[in-house]
Chain A
Amino acid sequence: MSPVYVWTIILGMAVTNYVLRAAPFLVLSRVELPTWAQRWLDFVPVSVMSALVVSEVLRPGGAWLLPWENPYLWASMGTGLVYWRWRSLIGSTLAGIAMFIALRCLLGVLPI
């Protein structure tokens, strides 16, 4: 694998990503957002997180898993409940990983 190929990808991604991250700051420091756009942005965090969870959980590693053979799905619901009850990001992440490992053994679909 040529270094030029790898560095083109790394530096290309670095520049593209920074432009995507910084562009709204540059634009919005000059333009005031209309009310409808502010209302829309209020729902962006929860919408993006939903989309990320669903894509991680229904198709982990790129392969669809059916509900009864999917430890990701059930462990994710458990993680959500733990966060809802105790409001601890690290606690729910660790509890989630523990539930995931247990479910993986229980469902017996993946090697331990």
Chain B
Amino acid sequence: MARMLVSPASPATRDRSLAGFARGVKLGTPVLLGYIPIAIAFGVLARTAGLTVFQTVACSMLVFAGSGQFIAIAMIGAGASAPSILVTTAVLNLRHILFGATLQPYLSHVPLREQALIATGITDESFAVNVTDLRGGSASASSVAGVEFVSWSGWQIGTIIGAVATGFVGDPSRWGLGFAMAAMFTALLVATAEDRRHVIVAVVACCLAAAFMLVLPSQWSIVATAVIAAGVGAAVFR
């Protein structure tokens, strides 16, 4: 096999130019376009659950975690306590630890304060786009930041539209937007399945996820699947 089985992360290029950032913005634009409808749905649901426009927008700006925000709104609607919402969303977002750990080796030469800034923009989608680009070898810290910035912007634009125009949008599911998130995840699954080993791990992960969903709350099934399926991959393909 041509590719080294254990491929230590080769560092991102040291390009710090504006062109690198612009390259990231271009790479991340599909995420921006995908985020807008999903964030519109979030804005509408948050307002319907009783949040003010300001609270809805602040939530997207500060939290910037799609699935976590949706779960929080659903739980607020169901009258859950604040601690139970915080614990549930924390478990759901445990996967961000894995994302940070995957990105860091590529960015170890970048000053820590810039790494801390890059950490703020990690989402499922920006991570998948960036990790694919980093593996390709032409990414830089600037391009990583560009992807994250444009993704964040899309999330804010959509949230503002949804929060302000709640009455005009109506039920977001009418427009088939309930599938937008699943569509992006599916495309990014294919993007991250680089070679035969990754495809096999993907099949294992899909089966594990379906099994865990039967026995665990969804926030746990995602993190359990990720940890175990990646472990199977590491154990089998040495």
Contact: A21 with B234, CB < 8 Å?
no
Give chain B residues whose Cβ lies under 8 Å from the Cβ of A104: 176
Bound Cα distance from A80 to B192, whole angstroms: 12
- The A61-109 residues at the B interface (CB cut-off 8 A) are 61-62, 71-72, 75-76, 79-80, 82-84, 87-90, 92-93, 96-98, 100-101, 104
Contact: B68 with A17, CB < 8 Å?
yes
Contact: B105 with A38, CB < 8 Å?
yes
Contact: B6 with A39, CB < 8 Å?
yes
- With A13-B68, A39-B238, A52-B185 already in contact, the answer to whether A46 and B201 are too (CB < 8 A) is yes
- With A25-B115, A40-B234 already in contact, the answer to whether A90 and B33 are too (CB < 8 A) is yes
Mark contacts of B12-44 with chain A using CB atoms, 8 A cut-off: 1 yes-contact digit, 0 otherwise. Answer: 000000000000000001110110000000000
A11: min CB distance to chain B, Å: 7
Contact: B187 with A55, CB < 8 Å?
no
Give chain B residues whose Cβ lies under 8 Å from the Cβ of A8: 82
Give chain B residues whose Cβ lies under 8 Å from the Cβ of A29: 104, 108, 112, 115
Q: Count the B residues whose beta carbon is within 8 Å of the partner chain — how many? A: 101
- With A6-B51, A10-B55, A17-B64 already in contact, the answer to whether A76 and B183 are too (CB < 8 A) is yes
- With A9-B85, A13-B68, A52-B124 already in contact, the answer to whether A79 and B186 are too (CB < 8 A) is yes
Bound Cα distance from A17 to B72, whole angstroms: 13
Contact: A12 with B185, CB < 8 Å?
no
B224: min CB distance to chain A, Å: 8
Contact: B209 with A55, CB < 8 Å?
yes
Contact: B50 with A1, CB < 8 Å?
yes
- With A39-B238, A54-B209, A93-B34 already in contact, the answer to whether A6 and B55 are too (CB < 8 A) is yes
Bound Cα distance from A45 to B185, whole angstroms: 11
- Nearest A residue to B176, CB-CB: A101
Contact: A46 with B179, CB < 8 Å?
no
Q: With an 8 A cutoff between CB atoms, is B94 at the interface?
A: yes
Closest 4 CB pairs of A and B: A96-B183, A24-B100, A43-B233, A50-B205
* A residues apposed to B, CB below 8 Å: 1, 3, 5-14, 16-18, 20-26, 28-29, 33, 35-62, 71-72, 75-76, 79-80, 82-84, 87-90, 92-93, 96-98, 100-101, 104, 112
